[in-house]
Amino acid sequence: MHQENKNRETKKVNQNIKPLNTKRNEKGNLEISGVDLVELAKTYKTPLYVMDEVTLRQMAQDYKDAFSKYEKTRILFASKALMTKSIAKIFSNFGFGFDVVSMGEIYTLLSSGIGLSKVSFNGNNKSIEEIEYAIDNNIDHFSVDNFLELKLINDSAKKKNKVQKIHLRITPGIECHTHEYIKTGQIDSKFGFDLPKVDSALELILKEYKNLNLVGLHAHIGSQIFEKDVYSDEISVLLKEIKRLNDKFNINLNEINIGGGLGVTYVEEDNPYSVFDIADTVIKSIKDNCAKLNLEYPLLYIEPGRSLVCSSGFSLYTIGSIKTIEGIRKYVAIDGGMADNPRPSMYQAKYSAEIANNKKNAKKETLTIAGKFCESGDILIKDIELDEAKQGDILCVYDTGAYCYSMSSNYNRILKPAMVLINQGKVDTIIKRQTLEQLIENDVLLDRLK
């Protein structure tokens, strides 16, 4: 635990469970950024994803301010956390680029009028189609994950008479104490080149792959990270490796991408550093290592996902059936669950929640929030203390801005919720609720079965 964080007077966005302007209004209802959540649920129906633009912009500004001390920083939003046209446009207007991992993410950017001049293509198994699509649309660079990709990207670039800028993704061998499934920097990982294989990759690039221009190294050590020394360790590995490769191969690599990972506060026990703490650690580590290794300061890429969007997002649900098992547990079922937020069933992720409608004088009880999907594991929150719940109450689950909509599914053929963007009393739909027609639009009923 970082005691200094606990004692902070002004917590930053990712250190709060709730969005910035959250309060109970005169009706006793929860209100965020001037919007009464009970009214919002009535008008837009539930389940509903909500993003608070004020909190979102504050976090983006904090990232900008925190890293402004190192001019050579390029911020890429990790689109996998939440990719929608309007969210992408907000970040693009901040000057951010994007980390993408698929044609779909690229297509969303292009259809929002965002070009690929600040885009990095990540992922461990990019298809030829995806590679060609990215090159055709002038992607800035690829983060190359493996030997096959080196060949495929070189072949595609050659076919198109281009020289393609690339980074090599390495596995730096750093473990951070996060959930096992979201540790990606350790040796036993599906992502990136192990350090002992980097020299062979360099030899191939320099001797055979003339349509590749290697300019730097990339690593990502994990997600929902509550430590800061892991970033110093990672930077030290990246810069030492750059120095070694520059000397051995007489080249001039001068870019590093340190990935994302900064944690957020889902529940009280979570205690992440602020982006200012992380930026100071990162910048100091770059400067110290460059001085030690006699290296020029590199161009620094960071690619935060969760911390940029999580805390500004929340989900609204309506409470339905309630089942009490005397002496054991009280289940409260909501009209959503694992298809709109798969994180609790996938990662045992924890969330905080509150009943949005006026519950003045209600007694508190320990409840388990169950989803409506046909899986016993579809439990959104186990044993949370809430105001006594009844059918029709509106439940607000905080911190659902990241990896919820982007990981959602149509399991049980249940429609995907809408998403609205709120800002000081204004409400705009940024994702329409899916319709039954859309649900079956790709289904083919064979003539011979009619």
**Using rule CB under 6 A, residue 171 touches ligand PLP:** no
- Cβ closer to ligand PLP: 92 or 307? 307
Q: What is the 3-state secondary structure (H, E, C) of 30-60?
A: EEECCEEHHHHHHHHCCCEEEEEHHHHHHHH
**Using rule CB under 6 A, residue 343 touches ligand PLP:** no
Interface with ligand PLP in residues 360-419 (CB under 6 A): none
Contact 235, 285 (CB under 8 A): yes
47, 261, 313, 371: which one contacts ligand PLP (CB under 6 A)? 261
**Using rule CB under 6 A, residue 172 touches ligand PLP:** no
Instruction: Provide the β-strand partners of residue 63.
Output: none
| 406 phi/psi in degrees, rounded to 5 | -70, -20
Instruction: Provide the β-strand partners of residue 382.
Output: none
Residue window 61-80: x/- pattern of binding to ligand PLP, with contact defined by CB under 6 A: -----------------x-x
Q: How far is the CB of 403 from ligand PLP (least distance, A)?
A: 7
Q: How far is the CB of 219 from ligand PLP (least distance, A)?
A: 8
Overall residue count recorded for the chain in this entry:
450
Known catalytic residue at 374: yes
185, 216, 260, 298: which one contacts ligand PLP (CB under 6 A)? 260
Task: Name residue, tokens 């096992």.
Answer: 180
**Using rule CB under 6 A, residue 220 touches ligand PLP:** yes
Interface with ligand PLP in residues 81-120 (CB under 6 A): 81, 99
Q: How far is the CB of 372 from ligand PLP (least distance, A)?
A: 27
Residue type, 11: K
The helix (run of H) or strand (run of E) holding residue 394 is strand 394-398
Q: How far is the CB of 214 from ligand PLP (least distance, A)?
A: 18
Start-to-end C-alpha separation, the chain: 63
Instruction: Provide the β-strand partners of residue 257.
Output: 218, 301
Interface with ligand PLP in residues 122-141 (CB under 6 A): 122
**Using rule CB under 6 A, residue 342 touches ligand PLP:** no
Q: What does each C-alpha distance from 384 to 16, 269, 331, 332 come to in angstroms?
A: 18, 14, 11, 11
234, 303, 335, 354: which one contacts ligand PLP (CB under 6 A)? 303
Q: How far is the CB of 146 from ligand PLP (least distance, A)?
A: 14
Task: Name residue, tokens 């529940």.
Answer: 267
Cα gap 158→160, rounded to integer Å = 5
Binding site for ligand PLP (CB under 6 A): 78, 80-81, 99, 122, 184, 220, 223, 259-262, 303-307
Question: Catalytic residue positions?
Answer: 374
